[in-house]
Structure 1
Amino acid sequence: MAAAAQVRVHEVEFCGRVKSWMDALIAARPDWPFERVDIETFGSGSQKRSDLRLFERGRQTPVLCGEVKMPGTPEGRSPYDEGLMQD
């Protein structure tokens, strides 16, 4: 039997999957204060996109935003990469 080929996942695909999981959690827990999750959107005051943004019900600014880097990339080897923490 042949070994299964490894499938590499791009960070945008990974963010889409995380968004789906978070959407399901938000729908299942109406007692949580969250309204939606956006991916690859621009924030105010920046020309850079946020990979993931979590919004509280009734707020236009995110309560959490994050940058996703895959572990197999140079940027994804450490969560403390100084260049990623700027902006």
Structure 2
Amino acid sequence: MSDAQLTLDDLRRVLLEGSGTDEDVDLGGDILDTTFEELGYDSLALLETAARISREYRIELDDDAATAEMTPRELLDLLNAAAPRP
């Protein structure tokens, strides 16, 4: 990964590729402060998302770091803080 920050669009893509989305949820909307639980993602889906991010972006997170009570904004902050620096 370069020194660029992981963005909401990056997170949306990983969520869709890994876990899909509930038909009632619009990930294209303003979701930054909506919990993953409200978006229809459970802890298993977030574990899969964290594993995909780890592989693709080389960002390691503790298995307990990403939770369904977390928002995309909080997860992005956590991921970007943990991202390797050149």
TM-score between the two structures when normalised by the length of structure 1:
0.32
Whichever of the two has the greater Rg, that structure is 1
TM-score by length of 2: 0.32
Question: Greater relative contact order: 1 or 2 (C-alpha under 8 angstroms, separation 6 or more)?
Answer: 2
Which has a greater percent of strand?
1
